[in-house]
Structure 1
Amino acid sequence: MCAAKDKSRVREPSKAGKYGNRGAGRRPNLEIRPREHLTPDEVERLMAAARRQGRHGHRDATMVLIAYRHGMRAGELVTLRWDQVDLKGGLLHVSRLKGGTPSTHPVRGPELRALRRLQRDYPHTPYVFTTERGGPLTDSGFRKIVSRAGEAAGLGFPAHPHQLRHACGYKLAADGHDTRAIQAYLGHRNIMHTTRYTELAPDRFKSFWRD
């Protein structure tokens, strides 16, 4: 008779991990993006560095400013058109990607001045942020702008556009704005995406006890 199989033997896990070879060789997100967001001071440094670089310094710095103030993704920013901007009324209509909800934001003094100059510098184009030929910039083009500016600013870590969207969320939460209002401002359909900012807001408990 054949010897019975030893059922007590435990199969050792594959060295490739729980999911086999899927994702082998990929670096964890924390290695690629050690910082999720920028502080307000770092955003200022990034804008200043972008402004100093090349012939399009004002355009590049304005892109950083608008992405930060309005929590815009790279794809939302580079496709922004002048018919979404009301310079007289001080309004900006933000169209969201990834199924987000659109909204209309107020545009403040520094943004208005920057956008008016941009319109003078790049006339006769439907897009707010353009190449020299008048076409829209690409996502990868904006990523390069932010990356180069981050290096020039001496941030000490890789800078990427999505840090500006997160910086907006954290700044609004730190300023004590209502979670639902931040959700609408950033275009989140699911409020769970918004609570990441309010959970870490340093002032959210400041009114709990008053002596």
Structure 2
Amino acid sequence: MHQFTNDCEAFVEYLQIEKNVSPYTVKYYLKDLETFFDFLAKEGINDLSEVDQRVVRLYLTLLYDKQLSRRSVSRKISTLRSFYKFLEREDHVASNPIMHISLPKTSKPIPGFLYMEELEKLFDVSDLNDPVGQRNQALLETLYATGMRVSECQGLSLSDIDFSIGTVFVKGKGRKERYIPFGSFAERALRAYIDEGRNNLLEKAKVESGSIFLNARGSPLTTRGMRLILNKMVEKAALTIHVHPHKLRHTFATHMLNEGADLRTVQELLGHESLTSTQIYTHVTKDHLRDVYMNSHPRANDP
């Protein structure tokens, strides 16, 4: 056990209670801090207040020597910045030595998305007379119609759906909440599933559940279960692509922008805190815009 355990435990409590971060995120924060604490031990630094910019830059050099990716280094520095910001707030240190350390610029990968032809094949694979098929169709339609995260979809309750105005109430990351509209295709799929298939699945469970999406035993479907369902649908459609719930989120954003939606609206629908997170999709749509321009503008091409 290292000498920084108490500060580390207090930081984790702060992340869980005040910031409401996921267990997955806490795990990576702890892993990053452990790497930093090991470095401090080797440098003979026993007090977190002894860490200054010189020490941080030495740590950065060590990370680069390990040939870590820029993304990994950025995450580790971001973790330390949050950690020291917390320590400064609690008066455990006088200043934040990470505050003015610039993060290495990362090259964000352009998100993959599905073409409409690929989506149509997925929409045609489920048996809509079967409870599981109705559930699968409702899941696919919901993810594509709303662009919500798989964790948000997994957390949906019956009370979150308002068919009268065609919206779903979504509880997002960090306790952020939003309403997302959905269209007629998603409405039909959800109504069919909730009125029929879901009741059949629920009969197999020993306890009542308010969750919308249930597994074959009538219990709430997990995020892992949702991924498996999509994989099986891809197999049935004889597609060679890899489809995960997040790709449907990417597809939602890309198709919205391609059809003329403005960036701010898509940002709000996706639940992005920063417009920067949404702007990555403009890279995907540039090719589409160029095609439209070349095919539409009278002087785009020679006769």
Same-fold call, TM > 0.5? yes
One-letter amino acid matched to 1:158: H
**Structure 1 counterpart of 2:210, from 119, 126, 131:** 126
* CA shift digits 1:66-123 (9 cap, x unpaired): 00111122211122111110112222112223x3843212222222222111121224
3-state DSSP class of the match of 1:94?
strand
One-letter amino acid matched to 2:186: E
3-state DSSP class of the match of 2:124?
helix
* Runs of 4+ that moved beyond 3 A: 50-55
Deviation at 1:154, TM superposition (A): 1.9
One-letter amino acid matched to 2:172: R
Q: Does 1:56 align with 2:132?
A: yes
3-state DSSP class of the match of 1:164?
helix
Q: Does 1:113 align with 2:188?
A: yes
List gaps (5 residues or longer) in structure 2. Answer: 1-64, 73-110, 200-207
Deviation at 1:54, TM superposition (A): 6.8
Alpha-carbon distance in 2 for matches of 1:169, 1:117: 26
Q: Does 1:191 align with 2:266?
A: no
3-state DSSP class of the match of 2:289?
coil
List gaps (5 residues or longer) in structure 1. Answer: 1-15, 24-34
Checking the alignment, whether the CA contact within 8 Å between 1:100 and 1:189 is kept in structure 2 is no
Checking the alignment, whether the CA contact within 8 Å between 1:40 and 1:167 is kept in structure 2 is no
**Structure 2 counterpart of 1:203, from 263, 278, 289:** 289
**Structure 1 counterpart of 2:155, from 74, 79, 100:** 79
The aligned residue for residue 18 of structure 1 is 67
Alpha-carbon distance in 2 for matches of 1:18, 1:194: 29
The aligned residue for residue 57 of structure 2 is none
Stretch moving more, 172-181 or 116-125: 116-125
Task: Pick the structure with more helix per residue.
Answer: 2
3-state DSSP class of the match of 2:284?
coil
Alpha-carbon distance in 1 for matches of 2:129, 2:277: 34
Are residues 191 and 118 of structure 1, via their aligned partners in 2, closer, same or farther at CA, if it must alter by over 3 Å? same
Identity across aligned pairs (percent)? 28
TM-score (norm 2): 0.53
Are residues 92 and 55 of structure 1, via their aligned partners in 2, closer, same or farther at CA, if it must alter by over 3 Å? closer
Tell which structure's C-alpha radius of gyration is larger. Answer: 2
The aligned residue for residue 45 of structure 1 is 121
The aligned residue for residue 65 of structure 1 is 141
Q: Does 1:96 align with 2:180?
A: no
The aligned residue for residue 26 of structure 1 is none
The aligned residue for residue 264 of structure 2 is 180
Deviation at 1:181, TM superposition (A): 0.7
Deviation at 1:57, TM superposition (A): 0.8
Aligned length: 182
Are residues 40 and 100 of structure 1, via their aligned partners in 2, closer, same or farther at CA, if it must alter by over 3 Å? farther
